[in-house]
């Protein structure tokens, strides 16, 4: 789908360690600011037990999971919106992303320096968020300067419409609130997304990088609990992760990985949770195609029509769309085979007006 999430945070909070673990790559994770100058990107598989089940059932020649793209963006510092610490370059990299994964340090360590001199996750969040707000405010003010006269004096319809949006967003930014906190109707939000590319309009999740000991006792991790309370106020999600543990897990073979996780009392890796949460944050869902040759998870944006989803596979499928034969993952899980799904009347035909749901198993009929 071409959608990507940017991993951001202050220097030395665990961004590159997280990225290395997620992508199992080896970008520099040095103990000093600006170890990451250019954004590193990686495409990673989205863990999905449904695809594992389908693959075991159909025994295909190949199994292809859904993917999501991550960018590891160099650390922001106080004053980034004014160009501090290569700030303008880093902000432009964030602007190219569709969602933000903000890594927050929630562990103490005398061995790893902190750019602000101490560990304070709320201060760190507010430093980053303020820089994003200030960058957006500069963009909004410049746009207001361009259209204010047309809206106020000439009463130009389009300018008045846009000025109403700008005024609402400016008020929020002036009060150090992100643009995503502004109540916009669907038409206003679409206009905003298409025209302004605001940093604080992008959806966000927080990754709390906790210590190994804290991971099994989060209730007593004061830093983590502060991040949870902060995120609640803006309806954001927080995922606790020990980036160091995840980096160790990521290089292990599957069997060794499970043994290590069992030893730590972990049922699902933090990385898996981060990847799944990012996928959902990007408003993405999955439909499947199955058969003896291939079982594949396809990514689509929620709200797409059946022909649009068909076009993800091939443009001809969309152009010559006739119908989609559809049944749910829950149906094949319940009945155990595609034939049994059909016999129990759970296979149906859907037309152009159908909007696929997460977990649909689809076969497209088309004629070009």
pLDDT band at residue 102 using 50, 70 and 90 as cut-offs = very high
Quick one: average pLDDT of 311-315? 96
Within 13 Å, how many C-alpha atoms sit on residue 99's CB side? 24
User: Does residue 19 surpass a pLDDT of 90?
Assistant: no
| pLDDT, mean over the chain | 87
Parallel/antiparallel/unpaired status of strands 40-45 and 67-72? antiparallel
Question: What is the pLDDT, as a whole number, of residue 37?
Answer: 43
Question: What is the pLDDT, as a whole number, of residue 154?
Answer: 77
In the chain, the percentage of residues whose pLDDT exceeds 90 is: 52
Q: How far apart are CA 209 and CA 25, in angstroms?
A: 19
Structure tokens at 76: 């922001």
Q: How far apart are CA 318 and CA 263, in angstroms?
A: 49
Tell me the sheet residues that pair with 354: none
Strand ordering across the sheet containing 67-72: 40-45, 67-72, 4-8, 99-105, 204-209, 237-241
Asked if residue 335 lies in contact with residue 364, where contact means CB atoms within 8 angstroms, the answer is: no
Structure tokens at 278: 């990012």
Question: What is the pLDDT, as a whole number, of residue 265?
Answer: 80
Contacts of 196 (CB under 8 A, 6+ apart): 139, 140, 143, 169
How many residues are present in the chain?
368
Q: What is the pLDDT of residues 31-88, one digit of tens each?
A: 444 444 455 788 888 889 999 999 999 999 999 999 888 888 876 666 655 655 444 5
Structure tokens at 332: 């094949």
Nearest to 296 by CA among 44, 54, 4, 70: 54
Region of poorest pLDDT, from 62-66, 84-88, 147-151, 328-332? 84-88
User: Does residue 331 surpass a pLDDT of 90?
Assistant: yes
- Helix, strand, coil fractions of the chain, as percent rounded to 5: 50, 20, 35
Q: CA of 317: how far to CAs of 105, 224, 246, 313, 320, in Å?
A: 47, 48, 40, 7, 6
Main-chain dihedrals φ then ψ at residue 269, nearest 5 degrees: -65, 150
Helix residue ranges, H only, the chain: 15-23, 49-58, 87-95, 121-152, 157-174, 186-196, 212-215, 222-233, 243-250, 254-264, 270-281, 306-313, 315-319, 329-335, 338-343
């Amino acid at each position: 789908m071409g959608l990507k999430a940017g991993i951001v945070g202050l220097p030395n909070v665990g961004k590159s360690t997280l990225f290395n673990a997620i992508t199992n790559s080896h970008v520099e994770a040095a103990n000093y600011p600006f170890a990451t100058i250019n954004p590193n990107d990686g495409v990673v598989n989205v863990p999905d037990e449904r695809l594992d089940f389908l693959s075991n059932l159909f025994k295909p020649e190949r199994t292809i999971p859904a993917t999501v793209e991550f960018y590891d963006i160099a650390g922001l510092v106080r004053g980034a919106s004014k160009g501090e610490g290569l700030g303008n370059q880093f902000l432009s990299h964030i602007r190219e992303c569709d969602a933000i994964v903000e890594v927050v340090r929630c562990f103490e360590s005398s061995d790893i320096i902190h750019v602000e001199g101490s560990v304070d996750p709320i201060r760190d969040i507010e430093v980053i968020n303020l820089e994003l707000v200030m960058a957006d405010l500069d963009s909004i003010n410049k746009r207001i300067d361009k259209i204010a006269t047309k809206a106020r004096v000439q009463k130009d319809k389009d300018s008045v419409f846009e000025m109403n949006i700008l005024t609402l967003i400016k008020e929020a930014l002036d009060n150090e609130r992100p643009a995503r906190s502004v109540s916009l109707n669907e038409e206003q939000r679409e206009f905003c997304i298409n025209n302004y590319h605001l940093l604080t309009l992008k959806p966000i999740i927080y990754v709390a990088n906790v210590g190994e000991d804290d991971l099994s006792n989060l209730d007593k991790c004061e830093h983590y609990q502060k991040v949870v309370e902060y995120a609640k106020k803006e309806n954001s999600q927080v995922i606790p992760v020990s980036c160091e543990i995840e980096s160790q897990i990521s290089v292990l073979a599957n069997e060794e990985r499970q043994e290590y996780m069992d030893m730590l009392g972990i049922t699902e890796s933090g990385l898996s949770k981060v990847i799944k949460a990012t996928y959902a944050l990007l408003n993405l869902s999955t439909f499947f195609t199955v058969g003896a040759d291939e079982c594949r998870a396809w990514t689509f944006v929620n709200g797409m029509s059946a022909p649009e989803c068909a076009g993800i596979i091939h443009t001809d499928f969309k152009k010559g769309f006739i119908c989609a034969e559809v049944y749910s993952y829950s149906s094949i899980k319940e009945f155990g085979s595609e034939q049994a799904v059909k016999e129990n009347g759970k296979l149906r035909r859907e037309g152009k007006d159908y909007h696929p749901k997460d977990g649909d198993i689809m076969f497209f009929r088309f004629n070009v």
